[in-house]
Homo-oligomer: A and B are copies of this chain.
Amino acid sequence: MNSIIKEAFSPDLFREEGHKLIDQIADYLNNCYDRKIEQAIPWKDPNELLAMWKNIMTGDKMSFTEIIKGTLDNSVHLHHPRYIGHQVAVPTPHNILSEMVSALLNAGMVIYETGQTSTAMEKIVTDWLCRKIGYGSESGGILTSGGSLGNLTALLAARQKAADYDVWEEGIKNGDDFIILVSEEAHYSISRAGKILGLGNGVIKIPSDENFKMDLNELNRLYNEVTCGGKKVIAVVASACTTSTGTYDNINDIADFCRDKKTWLHIDAAHGGGVILSEKYKHLVLGIEKADSVVIDFHKMLLSPGLATGVSFKNNNDSYASFAQKAAYLWNKDLEQEWFNIGKRTIECTKKMMSLKLFVQLKIYGEDLLREYIESRYAAAIIFTQMIRKEKDFEILTEPQSNIVCFRLNPGNMNGEELNSLNSGIRRSLLEEGRFYIVQTAAKGRIFLRITIMNPFTDENDFNELINEIRRHNKNIDP
């Protein structure tokens, strides 16, 4: 046996490096939560950071601990309460540790044999999700590596189901005869999925109303226009919630519309689907159980490290149709027997053991942790909004429905273009200093600052400081 292989695989090495790493991470978490780390994002220019890591790669010997220190020092600190940037989960200790076990076992998931426990856990977690959505016993789901892949998988099933010929075997005959209707505010992965599936401009954007919800009159109008022209709507996609403003579409009304039209309803609930766990907020997705498919990311509001997306189907058989229409016919009678060969229902062949972290989280904390986390972050958005409303030189874009808030500085003496450039400048200046990480969004042509309150420890003090910092950066960028 070659010595380098023996060395690299040594359990003693694992034990030694592992214990050091655990302490390093625990210290890091403490420093984040206590705000001892000064920046939420240690901004560096991409080329500068690339040069730094290239030097490290080619340079002197370095210990694992030092490489990890460099990595922690030069990464966005999600665990820092002043991280209020994108919709990425702040994972809990048990979730972080569970991912190490998944990495250790490295169970492929295409057939039961390669991932026995992971397969069982995946069924338990996806069944739980279906029940929480309100689906009946004929439902079922799978996990995919991310929401984009999840949306693609669901829309693939919709494409198959709607066509009056076997698309899987015969191919797309005239791409943009197949139409997906989706709000202009929807995540870009929907449009991208349509284009991957060969529909081109067949993904039609429905204008949103003044609150950034899909306009139902427009939905109706465009549906009629499209179908009168001989085209086929294979799916309507609702957002729960939208990415840029955190707005929930009127799912119940859209669901009734789809039922009348016998059209597949897919809900991209990647970010906001977690409200199914909250009595207080589940009205936001009223009617979700009428959808044919729903995507919910565990790595957004469900505290899980990425990637882990639940794709739920009202009718479990539909999920088999995604990938093998013909084979699905053959298997029809035995579908119930096939739950454990997950590769038949996913784009992925080797698929990571994603279920362990979800199972552990549910087993140890039940739904309580997830529910209380979501409720507390949604409530924080309301608190922040109330604070902003009290500041005369700030404005809110729209009443927040989730933990996403869009707002901006508006000193009152500027035109639209000046306001856009003011807020863009402030955001850039904040980023480069790095004490807060917030982002920006364009809403019907107007640039707004945008926060997503993901960190469980972001509080009113942080909000106050953010408001002050924005004013300070405003002065900095003034001519």
Binding site for B on A (CB under 8 A): 1-2, 4-5, 8-15, 17-19, 21-23, 25-30, 33, 41-44, 46, 49-50, 52-54, 56-57, 62, 64, 67-68, 70-72, 74-76, 78-79, 85-86, 88-108, 112-121, 123-124, 145-149, 152, 156, 166-176, 178, 187-189, 192, 195-202, 297, 299-300, 303, 305-307, 323, 339-340, 347-352, 356, 359-360, 362-365, 368-369, 372-373, 376, 431, 437, 439, 456-457, 459
Q: Look across to chain B and name the residue whose beta carbon is closest to the beta carbon of A24.
A: B101
Q: How far is the CA of A96 from the CA of B120 in the complex (A)?
A: 23
Q: Could you tell me if B97 and A114 are in contact, using CB atoms closer than 8 angstroms?
A: no
Which among A52, A91, A170, A297 has the highest number of chain B CB atoms within 10 Å? A170
A60 to chain B, nearest CB (A): 11
Q: Could you tell me if B92 and A167 are in contact, using CB atoms closer than 8 angstroms?
A: no
The 7 closest A-B pairs by CB, nearest first: A171-B175, A171-B200, A198-B198, A172-B198, A14-B93, A18-B22, A99-B103
Q: Could you tell me if A86 and B74 are in contact, using CB atoms closer than 8 angstroms?
A: no
- Given A146-B349, A147-B350, 13 new contacts (CB under 8 A): A4-B365, A21-B100, A25-B100, A53-B117, A53-B121, A71-B105, A76-B116, A78-B107, A146-B348, A166-B200, A171-B175, A196-B197, A198-B198
A199 contacts across to B, CB distance below 8 A = 171-172
How many copies of this protein are present in the complex? 2
A146 contacts across to B, CB distance below 8 A = 145, 348-351
Which among A90, A91, A195, A456 has the highest number of chain B CB atoms within 10 Å? A195
**Could you list 11 examples of A-B contacts with CB < 8 Å?**
A11-B29, A18-B22, A18-B93, A62-B363, A64-B364, A71-B117, A100-B103, A145-B145, A171-B172, A171-B199, A172-B172
Q: Look across to chain B and name the residue whose beta carbon is closest to the beta carbon of A93.
A: B14
Q: Look across to chain B and name the residue whose beta carbon is closest to the beta carbon of A27.
A: B11
Q: Could you tell me if B347 and A149 are in contact, using CB atoms closer than 8 angstroms?
A: yes
Which of the residues B11, B107, B364 comes within 8 Å of A26, measured between beta carbons? B11
Q: Could you tell me if B4 and A200 are in contact, using CB atoms closer than 8 angstroms?
A: no
A362 contacts across to B, CB distance below 8 A = 57
Q: How far is the CA of A435 from the CA of B201 in the complex (A)?
A: 55
Q: Look across to chain B and name the residue whose beta carbon is closest to the beta carbon of A66.
A: B363
Q: How far is the CA of A178 from the CA of B172 in the complex (A)?
A: 10
Take A11-B29, A57-B362, A347-B149 as given contacts and tell me if A103 and B96 are in contact as well, using a CB distance cutoff of 8 Å: yes
A92 contacts across to B, CB distance below 8 A = 8-9
